[in-house]
Structure 1
Amino acid sequence: MSAKVWLVGAGPGDPELLTLKAVRALHEAQVVLIDDLVNFAILEHCPTARVIAVGKRGGCRSTPQAFIHRLMLRYVRQGKCVVRLKGGDPCIFGRGGEEAEWLRAKGVEVELVNGITAGLAGATQCGISLTLRGVSRGVTLVTAHTQDDSSLNWQALAQSGTTLVVYMGVAKLSEIRDNLLAGGLAANTPVAMIENASLPHQRECRSTLADMQLDAVAFELKSPAILVIGEVAGGYNSAGADVLANSLKHCG
């Protein structure tokens, strides 16, 4: 075992969605820095490691990123095998890239381990295929929360023809709605709002772009949640039925 830092994606919450490589990293870990949204049941894979909570959650008091950097560096320089355990995937809105860059600049060996991101898992649990053939030609992952509070190019997103998966958008539903409508996306575009993706207490609310903010209030939607915006969120609609019928026509 050599001193290094693993930046590990813990997935969206369901411990069974953890990858075998993530389990191996946890078995090797001597120190685990765990994020707030990680399911603590995953820690059964590292029973002897020292576990340090370094929670980061929007709108709450969070551990400063600079402190997390220094903590990883301190332990790896002590010869420890360190796992930085993050919810979802470390490189999808998880700051894995910047942490890896910072550590490598200090001469630290780093390995990134992918995890299943909440946008994918939540949609799948709700029976939504993000790139359903004949309905959606792609998927775009975006965050409604930016470091400098800059605005996304909502018009380009509205006209992209792709399914939109929005992270960290619960507090900005009105802004998202207004910008996408102004960008040309139809008011009746289906929306699925998915809370606590992949966990036993996952909840979903189906709505439309025009009504999603009011429906979210009535549903008492809370973070963490993702939004799936696009025709695929409409369930088994006529477009999906046509695709299935055409597929069956060409089978056997």
Structure 2
Amino acid sequence: MTHRISCELAEAPLAPGEVAIVGAGPGDPGLLTLRALSLLEQADCLVFDRLVSREVLALASPKARRFYVGKASRCHALTQEQTNALLVRLAGEGRRVVRLKGGDPYIFGRGGEEGEVLIAHGIRFRVVPGITSAQGCAAYGGFPLTHRDHAQSVTFVTGHRKGDGELILDWSALAVPHHTAVFYMGLANAGTISRQLQAHGLPASHPVALVERGTTPEQRRVITCLGELVATIAREGLTPPTLIVVGEVVRLADTLAQPAAQVAILAEGEIRDRVGERVAL
């Protein structure tokens, strides 16, 4: 039995010709916001990314038309320009459009770029934030992103370089103690991340967490260190989407890890937690 969410959540219903840019969260449908769910139920058309889970898509009306515009490295269903054009076209046809993005649309989601295009074409739109991949992966991985004793700041960083260019970041600002650096889309550049952070002062023993497919039934968490980062990725066969979290907070993973935090996804499948050896939670 499903419970439909009222669209009266302190805002007007989605209007014909309007676009809602919505954060779908990191994967677990239980982490979707009520406002996001309300808009999903109203949508005539869904335009969604690769990282939007099937469980989240299933919450939309079965009558809604679905348009996949996912992007992986060097493999795009549609270019960003084509996605922009699709949103403009659907809104121009009077459709109620929900643009679904994994995590939060304004954190490495290119939601700002799409909003600019909609404004340029006189199209009304709204934005609904979502739980970021960093938040979800950390919580389900058993460690915080900040902690008074271990990390007084956190930085979200893109680990993806444009085209064949160099990954240019402020490495000295990232390689500081009592700080957490979260790298999105960084798996292919793990070697650069490891080398640069060590070259700018972090020890090879500095802790790193790798969380693959966080908050989903296929989640894997692997604890390693900067000096072993590349070898660990190869040995464990980790694939995108995998978040790289660098910082002392990772040392709390075993202390704070709790089965209760995993109930929502354990019901759908076993989560393998690898810390040296494979352990079933």
Asked if these proteins are the same fold (TM beyond 0.5), I'd say yes
Q: Is the 8 A contact 2:69 2:76 kept in 1?
A: no
Q: Percent identity?
A: 41
Partners of 1:59 and 1:162 in 2: how far apart? Answer: 32
How far did 1:58 drift? 1.9
Match of residue 193 from structure 2: 176
How many residue pairs align between the two structures?
Answer: 239
How far did 1:61 drift? 3.6
Partners of 1:47 and 1:193 in 2: how far apart? Answer: 35
1:139 matched to 2:154? The reply is: yes
Match of residue 84 from structure 1: 99
Q: Is the 8 A contact 1:8 1:89 kept in 2?
A: yes
Partners of 1:226 and 1:237 in 2: how far apart? Answer: 18
Partners of 2:23 and 2:193 in 1: how far apart? Answer: 27
Structure 1 SS opposite 2:155: strand
Match of residue 133 from structure 2: 118
Match of residue 24 from structure 1: 38
Match of residue 102 from structure 1: 117
Match of residue 179 from structure 2: 162
Partners of 1:158 and 1:62 in 2: how far apart? Answer: 36
Match of residue 87 from structure 2: 72
Q: Which moved more, 1:37-46 or 1:83-92?
A: 37-46
How far did 1:160 drift? 6.5
Shift in alpha-carbon separation, 1:237–1:199, aligned structure 2, 3 A: closer
Amino acid at match of 1:159: V
Q: TM-score, normalising length from structure 1?
A: 0.90
Partners of 1:193 and 1:236 in 2: how far apart? Answer: 12
For structure 2, the residue ranges without an aligned partner over 5 or more in a row are 1-14, 257-281
RMSD: 1.7
Amino acid at match of 1:113: V
Structure 2 SS opposite 1:120: helix
1:63 matched to 2:78? The reply is: yes
Partners of 2:177 and 2:73 in 1: how far apart? Answer: 28
Tell me the alpha carbon deviations over residues 186-209 of structure 1, each in whole angstroms, 9 at most, x when there is no partner.
211100000001001100110011
Tell me the alpha carbon deviations over residues 13-51 of structure 1, each in whole angstroms, 9 at most, x when there is no partner.
111111001011111111111111111222223222111
Q: Is the 8 A contact 2:182 2:246 kept in 1?
A: yes
Structure 1 SS opposite 2:183: strand
Match of residue 246 from structure 1: none
Partners of 1:236 and 1:199 in 2: how far apart? Answer: 18
Q: TM-score, normalising length from structure 2?
A: 0.81
Q: Is the 8 A contact 2:209 2:244 kept in 1?
A: yes
Q: Is the 8 A contact 1:158 1:183 kept in 2?
A: yes
Structure 1 residue aligned with 2:202, among 161, 178, 185?
Answer: 185
Partners of 1:81 and 1:203 in 2: how far apart? Answer: 37
Partners of 1:33 and 1:201 in 2: how far apart? Answer: 24
Q: Is the 8 A contact 2:50 2:71 kept in 1?
A: yes
For structure 1, the residue ranges without an aligned partner over 5 or more in a row are 241-252
Structure 2 residue aligned with 1:53, among 68, 85, 88?
Answer: 68
Match of residue 16 from structure 2: 2
Q: Is the 8 A contact 1:155 1:182 kept in 2?
A: no
Partners of 1:237 and 1:25 in 2: how far apart? Answer: 38
Shift in alpha-carbon separation, 1:62–1:155, aligned structure 2, 3 A: farther
